[in-house]
């Protein structure tokens, strides 16, 4: 019998018990819908993590200055200013595949007209813009002249621009940073939230020399060249592990640390952090899909159950078909196609419901979702496989019936 | 027409095992049936007539003995080979019609041709032809549920004829019908027989067996009687007499 003929016979048989067919399909519908929703939510979370990592830049090393202990009280990283602008300058000089950007951090109250806003101040070099992958929305960045002259210019983040200036154009405006007047020369493109949920656009960038001398500098900080952090960008394709080791040994050498002595700085490889985060989000997505596929298997068992009932109910029909010449493979094919039809129709309905649910979740819960054609194809293929797997045993049972006994069956 | 041997059996036996007991359903049956004969097979239940019919109908295999259908030795065949013989050479008519529910009459008649891999257009033509032959041309699209018992049995007969088989095996074809409809069905089988079709009829009713020209009787697995009915009844003639009250 042709596949089309078998399909027609299957559809007719399924139409006889509409409610029963629907209930049987429900298992597959729920299973497929669950797989699609879970994959959509899981890959949505994964995509979010990847996006945030990309906005941070994964080929980065972060150097934090060391700790200090005062009277048995151990302070955190950065409490002792062990790294300096000179270290930052030495890194690209010794390791040409790198670019280093020192940063001095502090908080300050900003005032413009009758508005004021508290934000984070970063004293940086022009390299910082490149290393941290900031884009300039308007205006310019500070140049060598600004650096050398410690000019009172600054760039503001998108949040600062909005909070302080409202609708006004920030460019050329003069704001007070701890009472020191600064001219806004540029606005940064928005980066949105960080992985930890903090607003990355709530900041002001200014030349490190200016920051040290006019804003953040107090006491010996002004005299020294020390910085809180140095960001190191490693050239694309260069081994991050090797770069990390080279930077570490360079700094140990510059700080004159003996072998066996602890680092007086902390070196973090953001690629590793990113890889860990990516891996954990992938595991989460996989786990969600695996849990959902359990319901698909349960749906398959439902199909097997109903097909077994159906074979018993239709024993006489099977006997008649055998009497008029149906071969083993004809009967096998008939019941297999019926099971697969159940699972495939269930699968298609499941896709519709799954996609609708995923879109609904994105719409109402505001979660990020990613609907991939692969997940849809996977779900259909899985539904098909379930139909074949769980349909085979009942179909074989039907095909192996003895025609004499089948015809006599009451 | 030139008569030739259609069914030939020699020492057919069939033994079933039920637990530790062996049950001998058929204890060596030898018989020849010519082409074009109308034969009734009689006997009480447990006489072996059903077992004999199942073997003749290629639904079952003998435990030993020979069975030739036409020129072919079928007692050695099994499984799908037997299915092919059933498909091409044997037309079954059952007591309970065994039509597929919710399936139009014409598709029921087509069913054997489906398994013979006949193209669908040709299937439809041949099925309609057979329905016309049994007088149901205008009921082709009716489902079995919309047909009377007699009409359903006619559809079943059309289905049995559609592959142009060597013989029709009718197992109690009137068992579920009233007497008048029974006459109609027997008349149809006699008509087919007059046109040359070999008919083997299983029945336990003497009235029904009376329409056959040859009567075989089984008891305890043996063929105990094989007689020619010198004056078989004419079902259509009886129907006509019946229709005109005295």
Task: Give per-residue pLDDT as tens, A241-287.
Answer: 888 899 999 988 888 888 877 888 888 888 777 778 778 888 888 88
Across A39-54, average pLDDT: 81
Per-residue model confidence (pLDDT) at position A22: 92
Distance from CA of A387 to the nearest CA of B (A): 24
Say whether pLDDT at B15 is over 70. yes
Say whether pLDDT at A398 is over 90. yes
pTM, entire model: 0.71
Distance from CA of A45 to the nearest CA of B (A): 51
Tell me the C-alpha distance between A10 and A342, whole Å. 9
Closest chain B residue by Cα to residue A320: B98
Q: Find chain B residues with C-beta within 8 A of A5's C-beta.
A: 114, 120
Say whether pLDDT at B246 is over 50. no
Mutating which of A7, A319, A320 best tests the B interface, going by the most B Cβ atoms within 10 A? A320
Mutating which of B52, B61, B93, B98 best tests the A interface, going by the most A Cβ atoms within 10 A? B98
Do the Cβ atoms of B103 and A325 come within 8 Å? Answer: no
Share of chain A above pLDDT 90, in %: 24
ipTM score: 0.92
Do the Cβ atoms of B87 and A407 come within 8 Å? Answer: no
Q: What is the pLDDT of residues A96-151, one digit of tens each?
A: 888 899 988 888 888 988 888 899 999 999 888 888 888 888 888 888 888 888 88
Q: Find chain A residues with C-beta within 8 A of B83's C-beta.
A: 322, 325-328
Per-residue model confidence (pLDDT) at position B206: 86
Per-residue model confidence (pLDDT) at position B1: 43
Say whether pLDDT at A76 is over 80. no
A285 against B1, higher pLDDT: A285
HEC sequence for chain A: CCHHHHHHHHHHHHHHCHHHHHHHHHHHHHHHHHHHHHHHHHHHHHHHHHHHHHHHCCCEEEEEECCCEECCEECCCCCCCCEEHHHHHHHHHHCCCEEEEEEEEEEEEEEECCEEEEEEEEEECHHHHHHCCCCEEEECCCCHHHHHHCCCEEEECHHHHHHHHCCCCCCCCEEEECCEEEEEEEEECCCCECCCCCECCCEEEEEHHHHHHHHCCCCHHHHCCEECEEEEEECCCCCHHHHHHHHHHHHHHHCCCCCCCCCCEEEEEHHHHHHHHHHHHHHHHHHHHHHHHHHHHHHHHHHHHHHHHHHHHCHHHHHHHHHCCCCHHHHHHHHHHHHHHHHHHHHHHHHHHHHHHHHHHHHHCCCCCCCCHHHHHHHHHHHHHHHHHHHHHHHHHHHCCCHHHHHHCC
Closest chain A residue by Cα to residue B159: A324
Do the Cβ atoms of A324 and B79 come within 8 Å? Answer: no
Q: In the structure, what pLDDT confidence band is assigned to residue A77 with cuts at 50, 70 and 90?
A: low
């Amino acid at each position: 019998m042709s596949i089309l003929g078998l399909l027609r016979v299957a559809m007719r048989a399924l139409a006889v018990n509409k409610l029963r067919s629907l209930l049987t399909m429900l298992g597959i519908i729920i299973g497929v819908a669950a797989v699609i929703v879970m994959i959509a939510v899981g890959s949505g979370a994964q995509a979010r993590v990847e996006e945030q990592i990309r906005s941070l830049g994964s080929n980065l090393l972060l150097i934090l200055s060391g700790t200090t202990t005062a009277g048995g009280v151990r302070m955190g990283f950065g409490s002792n200013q062990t790294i300096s602008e000179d270290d930052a300058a030495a890194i690209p000089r010794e390791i040409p595949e790198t670019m280093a950007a020192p940063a001095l951090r502090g908080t300050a109250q900003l005032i413009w007209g009758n508005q004021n806003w508290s934000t984070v101040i970063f004293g940086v070099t022009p390299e910082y813009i490149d290393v941290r992958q900031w884009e300039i929305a308007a205006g310019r960045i500070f140049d060598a002249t600004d650096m050398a002259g410690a000019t009172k210019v600054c760039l503001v983040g998108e949040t600062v621009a909005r909070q302080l200036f409202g609708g006004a154009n920030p460019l050329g405006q003069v704001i007070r940073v701890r009472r020191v007047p600064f001219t806004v020369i540029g606005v940064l493109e928005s980066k949105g939230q960080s992985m930890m949920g903090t607003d990355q656009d709530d900041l002001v960038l200014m030349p490190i020399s200016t920051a040290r001398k006019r804003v953040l500098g107090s006491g010996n900080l002004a005299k020294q060249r020390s910085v809180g952090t140095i960001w190191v960008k490693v050239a694309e394709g260069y081994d991050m592990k090797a770069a990390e080791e080279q930077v570490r040994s360079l700094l140990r050498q510059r700080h004159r640390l003996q072998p066996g002595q602890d680092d007086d700085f902390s070196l973090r490889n953001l690629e590793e952090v990113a890889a860990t985060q990516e891996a954990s989000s992938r595991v989460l997505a996989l786990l969600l899909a695996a849990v959902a596929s359990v319901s698909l298997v349960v749906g398959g068992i439902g199909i097997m159950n109903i097909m077994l009932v159906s074979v018993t109910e239709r024993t006489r029909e099977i006997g008649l078909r055998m009497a008029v010449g149906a071969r083993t493979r004809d009967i096998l094919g008939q019941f297999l196609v019926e099971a697969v039809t159940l699972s495939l129709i269930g699968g298609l309905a499941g896709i519709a419901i799954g996609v609708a649910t995923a879109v609904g979740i994105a719409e109402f819960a505001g979660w990020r979702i990613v609907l991939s054609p692969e997940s849809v194809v996977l779900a259909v293929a899985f539904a098909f496989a379930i139909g074949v797997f769980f349909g085979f045993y009942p179909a074989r049972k039907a095909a192996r019936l003895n025609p004499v006994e089948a015809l006599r069956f009451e | 027409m030139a008569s030739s041997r259609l069914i030939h059996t020699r020492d057919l036996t069939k033994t079933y095992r039920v637990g530790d007991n062996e049950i001998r359903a058929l204890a060596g049956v030898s018989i020849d049936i010519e082409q074009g004969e109308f034969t009734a097979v009689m006997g009480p239940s447990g006489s072996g007539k059903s077992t004999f019919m199942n073997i003749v109908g290629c639904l079952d295999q003998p435990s030993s003995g020979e069975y030739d259908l036409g020129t072919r030795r079928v007692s050695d065949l099994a499984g799908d080979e037997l299915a092919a013989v059933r498909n091409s050479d044997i037309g079954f008519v059952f007591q309970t019609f065994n039509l597929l529910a919710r399936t139009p009459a014409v598709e029921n008649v087509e069913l054997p041709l489906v398994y013979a891999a006949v193209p669908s257009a040709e299937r439809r033509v041949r099925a309609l032809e057979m329905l016309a032959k049994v007088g149901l041309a205008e009921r082709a699209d009716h489902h079995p549920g919309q047909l009377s018992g007699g009409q359903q049995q006619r559809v079943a007969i059309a289905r049995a004829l559609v592959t142009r088989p060597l013989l029709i095996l009718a197992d109690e074809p009137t068992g579920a019908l009233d007497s008048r409809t029974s006459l109609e069905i027997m008349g149809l089988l006699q008509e087919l027989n007059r046109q040359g079709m070999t008919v083997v009829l299983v029945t336990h009713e003497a009235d029904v067996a009376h329409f056959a020209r040859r009567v075989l009787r089984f008891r305890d697995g043996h063929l105990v009687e094989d007689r020619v009915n010198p004056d078989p009844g004419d079902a259509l003639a009886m129907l006509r007499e019946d229709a005109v009250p005295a």
